[in-house]
Amino acid sequence: MAGPPVRTDIVDVYVYRRARTGTRRNCQFLQMRRQAGALAGSWQPVMGHIEEGETASQAAARELAEETGWTLQTNNASVLGFWQLEEVNTYFLHRLNCIMMSPCFAVEVTATSEPTPDESHDAHRWILRDQVQACFVWPGQRTAVAAILRDLVSAQLPVADHLSIKP
């Protein structure tokens, strides 16, 4: 069969917190600035490769710990929840001539939590929900953030319960 191969060995993890800004609570999304490699200088969510023998959710938990220092253990007071999203970030990567399909996850942390970036990042920032369109450059990332706002932050239906992953 002709055509580019499909790879499914990347995960995206969107970390958010509900913080007070001025007189109202606002949802903020974490971005980490890549220090080296093909994405050097770009602001991204937590992302990384699935290792041999890992499930996508195990890879998401490991990447979260490696890139931010937050773990999903039940005794971690900073992490409030871990969810799968229904969205799969799909895009074509020209330099590898492949179609990438990246399962998306969400992690809520406490309002005052700050990451401890690893050596692959040189900075981090929190993006307010009204800055998402300008700060998340890739359409799939904006779609994942919209799903978090719709299904987890202001859910009218009990969707969050069905998407929750227990560590």
Output the pLDDT for position 106: 97
Number of separate helices (H) and strands (E) present in the chain: 4, 8
- Full DSSP string of 10-21: EEEEEEEEEEEE
Query: How do residues 27-84 score in pLDDT, each as one tens digit?
Result: 999 999 999 877 778 899 999 999 999 999 999 999 999 999 999 876 678 999 999 9
C-alpha to C-alpha distance for 145 and 87, rounded to whole angstroms: 10
The phi and psi torsions of 41 (rounded to 5 degrees) equal 85, -5
Tokens, residue 33? 């600035």
Alpha helix segments (H runs only) across the chain:
56-68, 132-135, 139-148, 159-163
Query: How do residues 14-29 score in pLDDT, each as one tens digit?
Result: 999 997 665 556 899 9
Global pTM reads 0.92
The phi and psi torsions of 66 (rounded to 5 degrees) equal -65, -45
Tokens, residue 51? 């290792």
C-alpha to C-alpha distance for 4 and 144, rounded to whole angstroms: 24
Name which of 41-50, 95-104, 150-159 the model is least confident about. 150-159
Output the pLDDT for position 165: 87
Output the pLDDT for position 162: 84
The region that residue 131 occupies, defined by phi over 0 for left and psi between -120 and 50 for alpha, beta otherwise, is alpha
Pick the CATH number of 6-163 from 3.90.79.10, 3.10.20.740, 2.40.40.20, 3.40.50.300: 3.90.79.10
DSSP 164: B
**Amino acid identity, position 157:** L
Of all residues in the chain, the percent with pLDDT exceeding 70 is 92
Q: How far is CA 85 from CA 133, 147, 148, 166, in A?
A: 19, 7, 8, 14
